[in-house]
Structure 1
Amino acid sequence: MKCFTKSVQPELDQQQENDTLRKLVLLNDLIDFASNDYLGFSQSEIIIKDRQQYLIKNKFIEEAATGSQFSSGNHKLYQEAEAVIANFHQTETALIFNSGCDATIGFFSAVPQKGDLILYDELCHASICDGIPQSNAKAYKFNHNDFEDLEKLILLNPNTIIYIVTESVFSMDGDCPNLEELVRLTGKYHCYLVVDEAHALGVFGSKGEGFVQMLGLQDAIFARILTFENALGCQGAAILGSVELRDCLVSFDQSFKHTTALSLRSVAAILIGYQHLQKDSTPILKLRESSVFFNQQKNLLSLKPLFVHSKSAIQSAIIPGNENVTSIAQKLQEKGFNVKAILSPTVPEGQERLRFCLHSFNSPEEISELLQLLSVFIFSPQI
């Protein structure tokens, strides 16, 4: 067998030496402060049972879609689920994708055209950054949540179709943009606003509708991208928008045309997840209680200066240095808490952090013990 390609091996060796080589880690039984399963839906016996009963009742027995939605994969269950999603989010249509990455890359490959311009927040997540080059449009990033910088870029490109891209909750910092101001700005210059709500679904709004609907801005957004892998605890994603947007995606997104569709089991999980959002707000309220308690405790323990300001389920403590932040994460894991260190170059050097994900099932006792341990490891590192 040939050795691995010589052009890549030095990079692997360098990451191994710097202890930044990514590795797959098996699931563990540590207390979960790492997953994006914000509402605990992935482990809900009630939701799993409801999904099974729904499939049996409707005699949906297929284990796989067997093809793309253009061939043998399109099923009436997709139409039912997409109608529920669109109604829930007060939009004309919803189009289901296999994952958030598929949806994001599909949007940028199909919608912005040559001669158009994409302006995106510098902290947009990787799938947005990966998707933008799939478009023939030019693209520039603007400073994080800096709308003066954004407006300068808009003014430099008159008579241009402009797509402005942001997240309602940023995946690494957990902070939110001033969406009301951003809507005003995009309206002023007749731009098209695209908002990724991956980490807002199930977290904001009385029924978890997301940050956009909580502010009543849904009619001002050109496209919303949702992922179900987080709050709904299941596979899949959707793009929300007009009938024309859906037609454009169906017609021009080549990956959507040629990728095997989600199984009926996965689509049923999406549908049942939305039904539970509509009928039971208890997990959402518990998640908010966890978030409030977490913020109270970090203030009491003088940890607030470490953290990026956030009212979401994502709380990030900046601890510069890959070795330093990794050491603290390992200490927390040894004490029974699953907390992940985010290293550079995933985040800029000097912005390495512990990323805490809060859940409806995290108890006050768990949060209190976790932050007390963090305080000890930060302020008394010799212990």
Structure 2
Amino acid sequence: MSDKLFAGLAAQLQERDAAGLTRRRRLLETAQGVHIKCDGQTVLSFCSNDYLGLANDPELINAWQQSANIAGVGSGASHLITGHHHYHELLEKALADFIGLPAALLFSTGYMANLGIMTALLGRGDAVFADRLNHASLNDAAVLSRAELYRYPHNDLSALEAMLKTSNAPRKLVVADAVFSMDGDLTPVPALLALCEKYDALLLLDDAHGFGVLGKEGRGTLSHFNLTSPRIIYMATLGKAAGVFGAFVAADQIVIDYLLQNARTYIYTTASPPAISATLIKALEIIKRDESRRVHLQGLISLLKSGLQLKRWKLEESVTAIQPLIVGSNEEALALSEYLLTKNILVPAIRPPTVPKDTARLRISLSAAHSEHDVAQLIQSLNDAESEMAA
């Protein structure tokens, strides 16, 4: 490798650092939770997607240990060889029933699920219609599918309809986050579905941040809107509200059968350890039976909204556990995050290209594991920060 190539890489890294965009990993030294030790510092964390506080739940730990004693710690093969375990099968059936769609298919990650769906179902000549604020995995999947990609302004149904109306593609797929990961707002699913029915399109919903939190018994965004349709392809992750790891796709049986035969990110990878699936079956039981976690979470969201008295920074409208505080510049967002860290509070600064230019923010993630005292501490620190940093 030439010195010139290395010099080019170094220059690009320096440019990123000068723009305040360098990413750095924090080192977690404890189990996931709201009070953690990170980079040697004990902090109150508002960083995790563990919305129901299940990641370190004793029932799940016990389920993992017991199932590992039975099934071991590795699957040993892909699903289509000998890696598809009884626990995987039970979980797929439980997830389909939970969401209210005919069938489900497990994937190792949400990224792999979205890639698998779109590259299997679409090709050259087909069309993808995607919200501009979609997750990176959906954007990458659309590009890799080789279909024509049309991006409509965030939640702009008129723009989407204009695109659909002029499309002659044999297969059309509308794609959206159900809950947008950096803004916390919901996509208008009923209206999207109506457009898909009108223009003969399928609808792919990425419910990574709604599953387990929204809807009756935490059944997700489809339950929240009381919707079901054979046009819907539903994807959700299992490492956020479910507290463990993985992802799944739920859809009409023919869609799941087609993905099993054609989704390369499913076919050509080792199956996840069966103990993970056994643990997730227990997580589903807790999600369904323990409404108090969601009630408490909603109370914390209301407390945060009512307690912040900010003029310089703006808390976006969100009814979900994702509460974005828009700061503006990269430097100020980083400075605010560092200020909170001096108060032993950890909230990540999110910067472009993850979010649009000049909308750098703190992404406050609330969990049912937080107490009212935890949120009150965050509120006080943010209110103090606005006055102290202005001075």
TM-score > 0.5 by shorter chain: yes
Could you tell me the TM-score, scaled by structure 2's length?
A: 0.92
CA distance in structure 2 between the partners assigned to 1:159 and 1:21 by the alignment: 40
Instruction: Please report the RMSD computed on the Cα atoms of aligned residues, expressed in angstroms.
Output: 1.9
In the TM superposition, residue 382 of structure 1 has moved relative to its aligned partner by 4.9
Give 1:358's aligned residue. Answer: 366
| Counterpart contact for 1:51–1:272, Cα < 8 Å | no
Q: Judge which range, 148-157 or 67-76, deviates more.
A: 67-76
CA distance in structure 1 between the partners assigned to 2:100 and 2:172 by the alignment: 24
| Counterpart contact for 1:303–1:375, Cα < 8 Å | no
Give 1:90's aligned residue. Answer: 100
AA at the equivalent of 1:125: H
CA distance in structure 2 between the partners assigned to 1:21 and 1:380 by the alignment: 26
Q: What CA deviation, in whole Å up to 9, does each residue of 1:11-45 have, x standing for no partner?
A: 11212333322121112231121110001110111
In the TM superposition, residue 144 of structure 1 has moved relative to its aligned partner by 0.1
AA at the equivalent of 1:328: L
In the TM superposition, residue 220 of structure 1 has moved relative to its aligned partner by 5.5
Q: Percent identity?
A: 27
AA at the equivalent of 1:157: S
Give 1:102's aligned residue. Answer: 112
Give 1:157's aligned residue. Answer: 167
Change (3 A) 1:368 1:153: same
CA distance in structure 1 between the partners assigned to 2:337 and 2:375 by the alignment: 15
CA distance in structure 2 between the partners assigned to 1:296 and 1:179 by the alignment: 28
Alignment of 1:270-309 (within 5 A): 270-298=280-308, 301-302=309-310, 306-309=314-317
| Counterpart contact for 1:342–1:354, Cα < 8 Å | yes
Give 1:24's aligned residue. Answer: 25
Alignment of 1:11-160 (within 5 A): 11-27=12-28, 28=38, 29-56=42-69, 59-60=70-71, 62-158=72-168, 160=170
Give 2:329's aligned residue. Answer: 321
Give 2:34's aligned residue. Answer: none
Alignment of 1:177-326 (within 5 A): 177-219=187-229, 221-298=231-308, 301-302=309-310, 306-326=314-334
Q: Judge which range, 281-290 or 91-100, deviates more.
A: 281-290
Could you tell me the TM-score, scaled by structure 1's length?
A: 0.94
CA distance in structure 2 between the partners assigned to 1:379 and 1:220 by the alignment: 53
AA at the equivalent of 1:45: P
In the TM superposition, residue 280 of structure 1 has moved relative to its aligned partner by 2.0
In the TM superposition, residue 8 of structure 1 has moved relative to its aligned partner by 2.5
Q: Secondary structure at the match of 1:262?
A: coil
Give 2:33's aligned residue. Answer: none
Q: Secondary structure at the match of 1:312?
A: coil
CA distance in structure 2 between the partners assigned to 1:347 and 1:193 by the alignment: 24
Q: Secondary structure at the match of 2:216?
A: coil
Q: Judge which range, 119-128 or 346-355, deviates more.
A: 346-355
| Counterpart contact for 1:34–1:356, Cα < 8 Å | yes
CA distance in structure 2 between the partners assigned to 1:303 and 1:72 by the alignment: 59
Give 2:32's aligned residue. Answer: none
Q: Judge which range, 313-322 or 302-311, deviates more.
A: 302-311
Give 1:335's aligned residue. Answer: 343
AA at the equivalent of 2:280: I
| Counterpart contact for 1:315–1:355, Cα < 8 Å | yes
| Counterpart contact for 1:164–1:191, Cα < 8 Å | yes
| Counterpart contact for 1:306–1:317, Cα < 8 Å | yes
| Counterpart contact for 2:310–2:386, Cα < 8 Å | no
In the TM superposition, residue 253 of structure 1 has moved relative to its aligned partner by 1.6
| Counterpart contact for 1:195–1:221, Cα < 8 Å | no
2:181 to 156, 160, 171: 171
Change (3 A) 1:244 1:217: same
Give 2:31's aligned residue. Answer: none
Q: Secondary structure at the match of 1:30?
A: strand
| Counterpart contact for 2:217–2:287, Cα < 8 Å | yes
In the TM superposition, residue 165 of structure 1 has moved relative to its aligned partner by 0.6
Any unmatched runs of 5+ in structure 2? Answer: 29-37
CA distance in structure 2 between the partners assigned to 1:130 and 1:344 by the alignment: 17
Change (3 A) 1:63 1:51: closer
